[in-house]
Amino acid sequence: MKTDETGRHRPLEDVLVVDLTTFVTGGFATMMLANQGADVIKVERPGVGDASRYAGPPFVDAEDYDGPGRAAADEGESPYFWTVNYGKRSIELDLTDADGRGALYDLVSEADVVVENFRPGTAAKLGVDYETLRERNEGLVYCSISAFGETGPWRDRAGYDLLVQGLSGIMSVTGEADGPPAKVGLPQTDLITAMWAAFGTVTALYDRERTGEGERVELGMLDAALPWLTKQAGKTFVGEEPERMGTKDPVLAPYQMFPTADGHVTVACGNQSLWEEFCEAIDREDLLDDDRFATNADRVAHMDELEAELSAVLERRPTDEWVDLLAEERGLPVGPVFDVGAALDNEQVEARGVVDAVEHPAVGEIPVVEHPLNYDRADAGFDRAPPLLGEHTVDVLLGLGYDESRIVELIEDGVIPEP
């Protein structure tokens, strides 16, 4: 284990990850590993790369850059690609070519982890499935991500976040009560799956330390999303049907968004004491004597009446005044509803250093949203920009022991692009 001058280390600094994934599920999973210090090498198709590189707009124009990956840089950089690929290195390999697969096998022989999110059966067709790679590295941890997993009648179906949000029940409980099902405004099931994949990978690495044996981790996006239903699943288990409730909560009240004179606030009274303090703070102690609102169960049963009573009070004053009075002075769980810009740029985020910056070789300094794990004795965080397409191809091959003449052969045969 390496440590810096202060004696601190990065938890996964000796872990080499081969990332065969595209888009969000695998990309975010391997980026989580990179954040913890793993060396993540992203294997991409020559001249094409990960489809998320081009999934914008917007695109950011490259500066005058003449290094590896310059052709891709000339096309512009996608900030969307950045958000799931900080901290990685990129190598271009044609896996349909025997020499390309050979280079991958050499890389895998040195690796700890391989992550892929091909459709079931595709990895075997390419010769990069677990059984094939395990022959080169018995201690390999191999993580396979797909839409519906590798068994069951839906195994061969295509799947994206939108489909899984619909199939998982998430859309059915998202949106206003009198409106249609709604998609969560971010790729929720992609990110849920990514976090399960990273968790499973690290768990398998820990188990390898104890047993000395590699492992295969297999998961589907639909499987990954279902455990997150929690409250809604609980209602279903006792024969109730969860419904769309806007910002309301099925088991707590008041626990929702309310209008103010100039925007909205969220109010989260998670227990009876908070409810009583809230009523006092807004000068509505009379609500405490109202049988409709006496207990949390009563308030849940009379949510619409409760919403009307509280909205009539909260819409009289602007958001900042309510936040100052209720959150700052009284310590109650009340907050504003930020847009994304304000969420990324406020005094709390600044104080915690959540949004930082890294130097990108083609476009200069770019922002990065740091991950939330903080350690007493270890360090985590991004110290490398998202890679340009193929930016590290030659460096990685040289590190595997390839000499310059062999690299030239691979370039001439079209297995890797010219740097």
Q: What is the DSSP string of 21-50?
A: --HHHHHHHHHHHHHTT-EEEEEE-TTT--
Q: Is 190 a catalytic residue?
A: yes
Give CA separation, 254 vs 267, 281, 310, in Å. 7, 14, 9
Residue 312 CA to residue 291 CA, distance in Å, equals: 19
Contact 105, 93 (CB under 8 A): no
How far is residue 114's CA from residue 19's CA, in Å, rounded to a whole number? Answer: 6
Cβ 35 vs Cβ 67: under 8 Å: no
Residue 208 and residue 197: Cα distance in Å, rounded? 16
Catalytic one of 190, 262, 304, 356: 190
DSSP assignment string, 255-298: EEEEE-SSSEEEEE--SHHHHHHHHHHTT-GGGGG-GGGSSHHH
Give the Å distances, CA to CA, from 98 to 21, 103, 105, 251.
Answer: 20, 9, 10, 58
Distance of alpha carbon 386 from alpha carbon 392, whole angstroms: 11
Q: Which residues are registered as beta bridge partners of 114?
A: 18, 142
Q: Residue 17 is inside which H or E element, if any?
A: strand 16-19
Contact by Cβ (8 Å): 332, 277: yes
DSSP assigned state of 357: E
Which residues are known catalytic residues?
Answer: 190
